[in-house]
């Protein structure tokens, strides 16, 4: 048996935190009875109803890789009407992003209705590598590269060691292009790491996530993951 909020999240209806809110608000039923206790455990055979929608325990999972453009929200909805990543994918399933990219950050983001894989990939212990290309103001020094590699202090906590490569410099326009690979997922982490060493990020793109990259895609385009790619992701978080 599993906790009710975890089952709701795993079935792809919403996040675990939101599921807890819905339970407390009396919007969840198990076998026809309203449940408001967060500690409630359920069986796979139980009928779970959320906001008058019966969840399907036998649903088909879908997995998408999206090249997120700028000015798109990494969410399923936005209270001020901005475009979201789910607006860009045509499917009848309720999918949601795995983690997030900032509004002005472009690049690779996964979307799925597989709550189990989402939870595993986004858990701090997953150590999934994410590679970014950052265009920054100024010529990045060798000393700054070493600091990024060894970890910097942001929000009162040191970042883990990172892989860093200076891709190119533009002395005429005083710009640098830096490749940064991290396995953490803290809020605005990449931008804050560069800010810590004295450089402003002008553009940021996530090029790789685990075993996946953006080859063949343009901003706004997406594709389904192959069975092999899904299997590799699961193997990484066992």
> Which residues carry out catalysis?
102
Q: What is the per-residue pLDDT across 135-165, written as a single tens digit (0 to 9) for each? A: 999 999 999 999 999 999 999 999 999 999 9
Asked, colleague to colleague, whether 63-125+212-236 and 129-209 share their fold, the answer is: yes
Q: What is the per-residue pLDDT across 22-79, written as a single tens digit (0 to 9) for each? A: 999 999 999 999 999 998 999 877 889 999 888 776 667 899 999 999 999 999 999 8
Q: What is the domain class of 2-54 according to CATH?
A: alpha beta
Q: What is the per-residue pLDDT across 85-133, written as a single tens digit (0 to 9) for each? A: 999 999 998 899 999 999 999 999 999 998 888 888 998 888 999 999 9
The domain locations on the chain are: 2-54, 63-125+212-236, 129-209
* Best CA proximity match to 150, nearest among 167, 162, 134, 166: 162
- Report d(CA 66, CA 88) in Å as an integer: 8
- Report d(CA 134, CA 104) in Å as an integer: 12
Q: What CATH number does the domain located at 63-125+212-236 have?
A: 3.30.70.580
Cβ(236)–Cβ(210) below 8 Å: yes
Angle between helix axes 189-196 and 142-150 (nearest 10 degrees) is 130
Task: Decide which of 3.40.50.970, 2.60.40.10, 3.30.70.1560, 3.40.190.10 is the CATH code for 129-209.
Answer: 3.30.70.1560
Cβ(171)–Cβ(177) below 8 Å: no
């Amino acid at each position: 048996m599993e906790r009710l909020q975890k089952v709701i999240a795993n079935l792809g209806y919403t996040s675990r935190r939101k599921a807890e809110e819905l339970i407390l608000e009396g919007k969840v039923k198990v076998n026809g009875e309203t449940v408001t206790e967060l500690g409630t455990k359920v069986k796979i055979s139980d009928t779970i109803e959320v906001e008058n929608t019966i969840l399907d325990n036998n649903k088909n999972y879908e997995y998408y890789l999206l090249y997120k453009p700028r000015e798109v929200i990494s969410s399923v909805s936005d209270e001020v009407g901005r475009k979201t990543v789910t607006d860009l994918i045509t499917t009848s399933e309720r999918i949601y992003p795995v983690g997030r990219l900032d509004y002005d950050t472009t690049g690779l983001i996964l979307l799925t209705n597989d709550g189990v894989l989402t939870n595993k990939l986004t858990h701090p212990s997953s150590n999934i590598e994410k590679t970014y290309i950052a265009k920054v103001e100024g010529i990045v020094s060798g000393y700054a590269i070493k600091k990024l590699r060894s970890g910097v202090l942001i929000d009162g906590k040191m970042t883990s060691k990172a892989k860093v490569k200076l891709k190119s410099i533009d002395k005429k326009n005083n710009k640098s292009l830096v490749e940064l690979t991290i396995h953490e997922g803290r809020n605005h982490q990449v931008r804050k790491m560069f800010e810590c060493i004295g450089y402003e990020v002008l553009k940021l793109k996530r090029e790789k996530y685990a075993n996946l990259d953006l080859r063949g895609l343009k901003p706004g385009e997406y594709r389904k993951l192959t069975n092999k790619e899904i299997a590799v992701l699961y193997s990484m978080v066992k």
